[in-house]
Amino acid sequence: MDGPFPSLAGPGVLPTFEGCDPYFVWTKFGQSTLPQESLEAIEAALKGRESDVVGVLGFSQGGKLGAGLLLMQQLRDKNTYYPINFEFGVMCMSVTPPLISKEFWDRREERISIPNIHVIGTEDEWYAEGMKLYNDHFEARSSSLLRFDIGHRLPIKDEQNLTIANKIKKVYEEATGKELIEFER
């Protein structure tokens, strides 16, 4: 899904996605916390679905958002309704820190223990940011790291995508106790 705020094409978007506009982001320029409009858009997308959304996957700023959604889910008051209840998260070529709303800002340094996978490109210009997100904001015992020799983009090789799919399958099965089919090439 797209963020609620129209934007110019972000870093690495052009020329690959030229003509795919309009482009959107999750925050307005200069904001460091998750705006209410973004949280409302996510809640609206999740509300009334026929099936559960069990995980969050985000790329670049979307990965920063995914990390923030996991952190807010973990920090929420367990006695208060919260529409987001992910079993795991996948952050692809993400940046740091997790994008969270103001109400959780004073607890932003807590590490995320919800199962997660980080897909990081060793040639990504934001490689250090992705590693910082992984190392500084997630518990090691619940985190997996997949590194590929690619830049700031999603993997395109079959074997890389099969590795990611099988890691997601494993994390899903461990988190839910439900078994999925094996992904094969």
Count of structural domains, the chain: 1
In a domain, 24, yes or no: no
Tens digit of pLDDT per residue, the chain (185 long)? 899 999 998 877 888 788 999 999 999 888 899 999 999 999 888 887 777 889 999 999 999 999 999 999 999 877 666 777 899 999 999 999 999 999 999 999 999 999 999 999 999 999 999 999 999 999 999 999 999 999 999 999 999 999 999 999 999 999 889 888 777 76
What is the predicted pLDDT for the residue at 81? Answer: 66
Q: Say if residues 153 and 141 touch (Cβ distance below 8 Å).
A: no
- Domain assignment present for 184: no
**How many contiguous H segments (helices) and E segments (strands) does the chain have?**
4, 6
Residue 38 lies in a domain: no
33 within a domain of the structure (yes/no)? no
Residue 23 three-state SS: strand
CATH number at residue 126: 3.40.50.1820
Domain membership flag for residue 45? no
Q: Would 65 be classed as within a structural domain?
A: yes
**Does residue 4 lie within any of the structural domains?**
no
The predicted model scores a pTM of 0.92
Host domain of residue 171 = 54-176
Predicted confidence at residue 63, as pLDDT, reads: 96
CA 104, 105, 107, 110 dihedral sign is: positive
Whether 110 is in a domain gets the answer: yes
Tell me if 146 sits within 8 A of 119, measured CB to CB.
Answer: yes
* Residue-level pLDDT at 115: 97
pLDDT of 45: 87
Backbone angles phi, psi at 86, to 5 degrees: -85, 145
* DSSP character at residue 25: E
Give dist(CA 151, CA 42) in Å, integer: 28
Closest CA to 63 of 141, 110, 124: 124
